[in-house]
Amino acid sequence: MKRIRFETSNTRRFKLSHLLFGIAALYLVFIAFKFPHFLEIAALLSGDDSYMGLDGEMVGDNGDSDLSKPFFGSVYKDTFHRKLEDNENLEAPLMPRKEPLEKGKGGSRPIKPLQFRYGRITGEIMRRRNRTNELSVLERMADEAWTLGLKAWEEVEKFDVKETVENNIYEGKPESCPSWVSMSGEELASGDRVTFLPCGLAAGSSITVVGTPHYAHKEFLPQLVRRRNGDGQVMVSQFMVELQGLKSVDGEDPPKILHVNPRLKGDWSLRPVIEHNTCYRMQWGTAQRCDGLPSKNDDDVLVDGYVRCEKWMRNGVVDSKDSKTASWFKRFIGREQKPEVTWPYPFAEGRLFILTLRAGVDGFHINVGGRHVTSFPYRTGFTLEDATGLAVKGDVNVHSVYATSLPASHPSFSLQRVLEMSSKWKADPLPNTSIRLFIGVLSATNHFAERMAIRKTWMQSAATKSSDVVVRFFVALNPRKEVNAVLKKEAAYFGDIVILPFMDRYELVVLKTIAICEFGVQNVTAAYIMKCDDDTFVRVDTVLKEIKGISGKKSLYMGNLNLLHRPLRSGKWAVTYEEWPEEVYPPYANGPGYIISIDIAKYIVSQHGNQSLRLFKMEDVSMGMWVEQFNSSMAVQYSHNWKFCQYGCMEGYYTAHYQSPRQMICLWDKLARGRAQCCNFR
> How many domains does the structure of the chain reveal?
2
Please give the backbone phi and psi of residue 640, each rounded to the nearest 5 degrees, phi first.
-105, 140
Distance CA 454, CA 151 (A): 30
Q: Are 130 and 96 in contact (CB under 8 A)?
A: no
- Residues 203, 277: one domain? yes
pLDDT per residue as tens digits for the range 276-319: 998 876 678 888 999 988 887 776 678 888 999 999 886 654 45
Of the listed ranges 416-430, 510-524, 618-632, the one predicted with least confidence? 416-430
Q: Is residue 144 packed enough to be buried (19+ CB in 10 Å), middle (13-18) or exposed (0-12)?
A: middle
**Helix, strand, coil shares, percent, the chain, to 5:** 35, 25, 45
Distance CA 178, CA 175 (A): 9
The reply to whether 35 falls in a domain is no
pLDDT per residue as tens digits for the range 541-582: 999 999 988 877 889 999 999 998 888 887 656 788 888 888
* Higher-pLDDT residue of 48, 461: 461
The counts of H helices and E strands in the chain are 15, 27
The reply to whether 9 falls in a domain is no
The reply to whether 126 falls in a domain is yes
Q: Are 550 and 556 in contact (CB under 8 A)?
A: yes
Distance CA 548, CA 639 (A): 12
DSSP string, 608-630: HHTT-----SSHHHHHHHHHHHH
Radius of gyration for the chain, computed over Cα atoms and rounded to the nearest angstrom: 30
Out of 390, 412, 434, a domain closes at 412
The reply to whether 354 falls in a domain is yes
SS3 for 7?
A: helix
Buried b (16+ CB within 10 A) or exposed e, 225-260: eeeeeeebebebbbbbbbbbbebbbbebebbbbbbb
The reply to whether 41 falls in a domain is no
Neighbours of 270 (CB within 10 A): 10
> In this structure, what DSSP letter does residue 255 have?
P
Please give the backbone phi and psi of residue 579, each rounded to the nearest 5 degrees, phi first.
-75, -40
pLDDT per residue as tens digits for the range 399-437: 999 999 998 875 544 555 566 778 888 888 888 888 999
556 contact partners, CB below 8 Å, separation of at least 6: 528, 547, 550, 595, 596, 597, 600, 636, 637, 639
**pLDDT at residue 91 in the model:** 31
- Residues 638, 497: one domain? yes
230 contact partners, CB below 8 Å, separation of at least 6: 224
pLDDT per residue as tens digits for the range 63-79: 333 322 233 322 222 22
Residue 150: C-alpha distances to residues 109, 144, 495, 503, 597 (Å): 22, 10, 21, 8, 32
SS3 for 417?
A: helix
- Residues 214, 276: one domain? yes
- Residues 551, 664: one domain? yes
Q: What is the mean pLDDT of the chain?
A: 75
SS3 for 540?
A: helix
Neighbours of 551 (CB within 10 A): 14
- CA-wise closest residue to 265 among 276, 257, 273, 253: 273
Predicted confidence (pLDDT) at residue 501 exceeds the cutoff of 80: yes
C-alpha dihedral (302, 308, 310, 315), degrees to nearest 10: -150
**pLDDT at residue 336 in the model:** 61
The reply to whether 591 falls in a domain is yes
Q: Are 318 and 342 in contact (CB under 8 A)?
A: yes
pLDDT per residue as tens digits for the range 303-359: 888 999 999 886 654 455 455 566 666 666 666 655 555 789 999 999 999 999 999
- Residues 391, 420: one domain? no
- Residues 100, 247: one domain? no
Domain carrying residue 549? 78-159+416-672
Q: Is residue 1 packed enough to be buried (19+ CB in 10 Å), middle (13-18) or exposed (0-12)?
A: exposed
Q: What percent of the chain is predicted at pLDDT more than 90?
A: 29
- pLDDT grade for 518, boundaries at 50, 70 and 90: very high
Out of 412, 434, 467, a domain closes at 412
- Residues 370, 481: one domain? no
Predicted confidence (pLDDT) at residue 393 exceeds the cutoff of 50: yes
Predicted confidence (pLDDT) at residue 590 exceeds the cutoff of 50: yes
The one-letter code for the residue type at 279 is C
Out of 372, 388, 412, a domain closes at 412
Please give the backbone phi and psi of residue 452, each rounded to the nearest 5 degrees, phi first.
-65, -35
**pLDDT at residue 108 in the model:** 34
Distance CA 496, CA 490 (A): 9
- How large is the average pLDDT for residues 496-518? 88
Distance CA 598, CA 602 (A): 6
CATH number at residue 389: 2.60.120.200
Of the listed ranges 123-137, 442-456, 575-589, the one predicted with least confidence? 123-137
- Residues 492, 615: one domain? yes
The reply to whether 175 falls in a domain is no
Distance CA 659, CA 568 (A): 26
- Residues 589, 475: one domain? yes
**pLDDT at residue 107 in the model:** 37
**pLDDT at residue 599 in the model:** 93
The reply to whether 14 falls in a domain is no
- Residues 399, 426: one domain? no
- Residues 406, 425: one domain? no
The one-letter code for the residue type at 139 is E
- Residues 275, 303: one domain? yes
